Amino acid sequence: MTATNTRAEFLLPTDELRDDLPFYTKVLGMRLENIFPADDPSVASFSGHGLRLRIEKGADVAPGHLRILTDDPDGFAGGQRQLTAPNGTKIDIVPLTPAVVQPETAHEFAVRRLRDEAPWVIGRAGMHYRDLIPTRLGGSIIASHIRIPDGGPVPDMVHYHTVGFQLIFCYKGWVDVLYEDQGDMIRLHAGDCVTQPPGIRHRVVEASPEIEVIEIGVPAEHVTTIDHDFTLPNGTGDPTREWDGQRFVHHVKEGAVWQPFRLPGFTARDTGIAQGTKGVAGIQVVRMDGGESPAATHDADIHFTFVMDGTMTLSAKGQDDRDLQAGDAFVIPPGMETRYHACSDDLELLEVALRGDFATKLLG
């Protein structure tokens, strides 16, 4: 049965209601809905900011803690960010839209191997997640290997992320996605990728069986907001639109141009993401091109690589050699001397760097 004309209230206590009336109405800007008894009021209900409160004298409940979200925190309640009501309820005034806070990167050399049986966990919309950087470099980045074993329709909703940078790279299979201002459905095939600029509305619609993607998010902890009022697709829109200075980039593997990589002995296809993000990030797919590659260092703040196919040996100064295969991932800190060698002919890597305009120094 569908309920009609129904509302819910939070019950809060008070010792003296007359002390709370001016605070909740004048300081917090809420509306008094009812009050009783008339001769000596002990109960009142207030509404506002998406809440309804019932304050009752002598109620045997905790005074509670409210968070009021506003797009003008400096203009609300005289600019105060933390208040305590006469009845003891604590109130935090916070921005309506959370800001992106990028932690300082905790640099480390790290290798994550698929054969080490890193756990898969069930995440949003029933998808399976495997963490490729367990330490997340101090919270500066999250790299996830995501799969949907059965495929088919995905129970996703229109949502957006409060991020500094986000990448979706289709590793295996295909996935259908919708994006704000990008026209109709986009099907990502294996080798294709998109960026999800900060705040762009999107929704995963359907996926092939055994679909696998690599998702990069900066910073590691970021807010996902469901937008119940936004419908996708939303028309042709504006493909050149920017969100916080970043364009939506859709890179397609088929027909991509291969060119010399930053390391001799390899070739790469650039995804155009460095240009689309104005240097925030650079994403390249790398293949063997014959010959040996020298040792090198880089100056990127974050440098992550996922082995998509083939095998290789990663040598890093001061570390044991690591034999890597498809499904493995590694992070190289800035300034560390490393070398890729003993690479199979079918080696293919996904390289993610922040910033995207970093420099490489060859050492031999």
Q: What is the residue-level pLDDT of the chain in tens, covering all 364 positions?
A: 555 789 999 999 999 999 999 999 999 999 999 999 988 899 999 999 999 999 999 999 999 999 999 999 999 999 999 999 999 999 999 998 888 889 999 999 999 998 876 677 876 666 788 999 999 999 999 999 998 888 899 888 999 999 999 999 999 999 999 999 999 999 999 999 999 999 999 999 999 998 999 999 999 999 899 999 999 999 887 878 999 999 999 999 999 999 999 999 999 999 999 999 999 999 999 999 988 899 999 999 999 999 999 999 999 999 999 999 999 999 999 999 999 999 999 999 999 999 999 999 999 7
How far CA 186 is from CA of 59, 183, 206, 225, in Å, comes to 55, 8, 11, 22
Is 107 in contact with 100 (CB distance < 8 Å)?
A: no
The pLDDT, as a whole number, for residue 123 is 67
d(CA 248, CA 362): 33
**110-250, CATH topology level:** Jelly Rolls (2.60.120)
pLDDT for the residue 103: 94
DSSP 137: G
> In a 3-state reduction of DSSP, which class is residue 190?
coil
**Model confidence, pTM:** 0.87
CA nearest 46: which of 61, 60, 37, 56? Answer: 56
CA distance 37 to 34: 10
Q: Which two tokens stand for residue 140?
A: 């500066």
355 cis-preceded (ω within 30 degrees of 0) = yes
d(CA 155, CA 309): 30
What are the extents of the domains in the chain? 10-95, 110-250, 258-362
| Res 174: pLDDT | 97
Both tokens of 1, joined, read 């049965």
Token pair, residue 169, equals 């790279």
Amino acid at 172: K
Q: Do domains 110-250 and 258-362 have the same CATH topology?
A: yes
Q: State how far the alpha carbon of 255 is from the alpha carbons of 250, 252, 269, 270, 287, in Å.
A: 13, 7, 10, 12, 16
Task: Spell out the CATH class of 258-362.
Answer: mainly beta
Residue 17 has a pLDDT of 96
Look at domain 10-95 and name its CATH class.
Answer: alpha beta
pLDDT of residue 118: 64
- Cross-strand bridge partners of residue 162: 223
How far apart CA 117 and CA 95 sit, in angstroms, is 41
